[in-house]
Chains A and B, each alone.
Chain A
Amino acid sequence: MKKLGDPLIALSVVACSVVLLLALTFALQGNPFDRPSRTLRAEFPDITGIQQSSLVKYSGAIAGNVHSIRMLTPEERNASPHPENTVEIILAINNNVPALNEGLTASVASDTLLSDKFVLIAGGDPKAAALANNAVIGSITPVTFDAILRDLAGAMAKLREIFGSAQGGALDGIMPKVEKLLGDLNTTVTQAQGLIGNGNGLIQNANTMVDSGDGLIDNAGQLVASGRSLIDTNKNAIDKMIAQLSAAADSLDDLAQRTNKLVKDNEGNVSSSLKDAKVTLSELKAAAISARVLADSLRARPQQLLWGPGHPPKPTSN
């Protein structure tokens, strides 16, 4: 039993470890049976941070890894249109990446300041021809912190040169001008101080006005508060009054409707009465004229009461 048990246990453990090792290898290296069949080449002046098997990303997506890195010979650099490039890297492109077209550019990039560097390829015109295997693509010189520092150091050196040359004699002619400039600057500063004083007065006035406005606003606030208090105190009475006014308005409306109806109902009678009244008035007018004529006639000849009118005069239109 022991002779059978030991091999079984040992082989099981070894088999498990082999499986785990293969799984880890597969995870870190990718599918060993799906080797990249395409390569691209890119030349750089500086590939700090890039090493063999560094990632290659196409527009941010993983597209392969760095297959190898090679220094360019002086002859190759002289023959190249970009002699500043010193290193050539060969990029192995995964098989699942679609055909890459001309116009691609490669650069050295990283996700964050602390992240590993990778080769980022981007661009490419979809209407252009597909890149051949092992084609050379353009490269963008990476702008690194070190490069910025180097440029800064160069600028500082030039500044130092300028100041160094200024110290030797040329400074004598400059000094009077500098003194005159300082005098003008002093005058300007004095004027600016006066201007600043005026500005301060203006600001103080504005502050006073703002203070007055604050008082006004406070009074208005108190008035509003008083009004609100008054309304709150007499709210019930006001509500009652509004309700009564509403009821009175309803009553007036009802009265107007009734009056209107009454007028409509008696409109015919009133009209006939008016016509009768008009006739009566015409008759009364005629009677009044006759009475006036009679009165005139009697005033002229009172004896008519006894002797008759004779030939009465014709009535006038007045």
Chain B
Amino acid sequence: MRDWFTLNAQVLYWLLVAPFRGVPVRLGPVFEQMVRIGVQAVPMTALTSLSIGITLAMQGAHELTRMGAASFVPDLVAMTILRELGPLLVGVVVIGRSGSAVTAELGTMKVSEEIEALEVMAIDPMRYLVLPRFVAMLVMLPALTVFGNYIGMAGGWAICHFSLDMETASYIRRLVESSHPMDLYSGMVKSVVFAWLIITISCVYGLGVKGGAEGVGRATTNSVVVSILTMLIADACLTAIFFFGES
């Protein structure tokens, strides 16, 4: 936990303070990490969101049709994806694909003493290794969430249109009317928080690897498990803040 706070403090320093002291963020590695963490995860994110949208609509249609309320399927899909499943599932995908890769990459560098070599050369590993990944994750996870939201709602449309004979215009109208801006904003805030948790936990576990290749594997597993658990707990807390704070 102390390592996590230390890493956060150092990252925030390099991100918010150092640029005003003549040490800017290195954009080249940031873009490189954005492609690796975000762009290359688009197909997997799209497939996951599409599946979830279709599944949600099918489950909702199955139950709501029995009550003669099939027209509420778009409401269910929109609310669930925008508020919860959009950011959550994209986060899980990114944890499994990119978070674990970050931990393994940093862990391997640690056990091969590359990080010590950087420190010997007076290069701060936080600025050189962690900061680009941090910025890339903070930008790309919300972006992936936006894509995931659209694709998930498209999956819901597929079921409503082809199975429930709902007009596309009706689907979009219900989708828009039933959703509040707060649903979207809360999902986007969650995705930013998830990104911050995922990348910091992944980096902490990667930089804390001990014991060679076995340690890298163990750190990667722990990183994924802790990231998912932390993300779920944070999700519950944020939901309570956004939707149960006033009641």
Residues of chain A at the chain B interface (Cβ within 8 Å): 3, 6-7, 9-11, 13-14, 16-18, 20-21, 24-25, 27-29, 53, 55, 114, 116
Contact between chains at A24 and B143 (CB < 8 Å): no
Contact between chains at A13 and B39 (CB < 8 Å): yes
B182 CB–A CB distance under 8 Å: yes
Most chain B CB within a 10 A radius of its CB, from A6, A10, A27: A10
Q: Which of B27, B35, B142 contacts A17 (CB 8 A)?
A: B142
Decide yes or no: A10 and B34 within 8 Å by CB, A3-B28, A21-B188 being known contacts.
Answer: yes
| Complex CA distance for A114 and B72, rounded to whole angstroms | 9
Contact between chains at B179 and A14 (CB < 8 Å): no
Contact between chains at A9 and B184 (CB < 8 Å): no
Chain A, residue nearest B29 (CB) = A6
Q: Distance (Å) between the CB of A71 and the closest chain B CB?
A: 12
B42 CB–A CB distance under 8 Å: yes
Contact between chains at A6 and B34 (CB < 8 Å): yes
Contact between chains at A24 and B31 (CB < 8 Å): no
Most chain A CB within a 10 A radius of its CB, from B27, B38, B143, B178: B143
Decide yes or no: A21 and B146 within 8 Å by CB, A28-B176, A53-B181, A116-B178 being known contacts.
Answer: yes
Contact between chains at A25 and B184 (CB < 8 Å): yes
Contact between chains at A24 and B149 (CB < 8 Å): yes
10 further A-B contacts with Cβ under 8 Å, apart from A10-B140, A116-B178, are A10-B136, A13-B34, A16-B147, A18-B143, A24-B150, A27-B176, A28-B176, A28-B184, A29-B181, A53-B182
Judged by DSSP, the binding face of A is: helix
- Given the complex, which residues of A lie within 8 Å of B35, measured CB to CB? 6, 9-10
B167 CB–A CB distance under 8 Å: no
Contact between chains at B142 and A114 (CB < 8 Å): no
Judged by DSSP, the binding face of B is: helix
Interface size, chain B (Cβ < 8 Å): 31
For this complex, 9 residue pairs linking A to B, each with C-beta atoms less than 8 Å apart, are A6-B32, A6-B34, A17-B143, A17-B144, A17-B147, A21-B146, A27-B176, A28-B184, A55-B177
B161 CB–A CB distance under 8 Å: no
Decide yes or no: A20 and B146 within 8 Å by CB, A10-B31, A10-B39, A13-B39 being known contacts.
Answer: yes
| Complex CA distance for A13 and B41, rounded to whole angstroms | 11
Q: Distance (Å) between the CB of B45 and the closest chain A CB?
A: 11
| Complex CA distance for A6 and B180, rounded to whole angstroms | 35
Decide yes or no: A6 and B179 within 8 Å by CB, A17-B147, A20-B147, A20-B150 being known contacts.
Answer: no
| Complex CA distance for A18 and B147, rounded to whole angstroms | 10
| Complex CA distance for A11 and B30, rounded to whole angstroms | 11
B118 CB–A CB distance under 8 Å: no
Contact between chains at A24 and B184 (CB < 8 Å): yes
B193 CB–A CB distance under 8 Å: no
| Complex CA distance for A24 and B181, rounded to whole angstroms | 9
- Given the complex, which residues of B lie within 8 Å of A53, measured CB to CB? 180-182
- Given the complex, which residues of A lie within 8 Å of B150, measured CB to CB? 20, 24
Contact between chains at A24 and B146 (CB < 8 Å): yes
Decide yes or no: A28 and B180 within 8 Å by CB, A10-B38, A14-B143 being known contacts.
Answer: yes
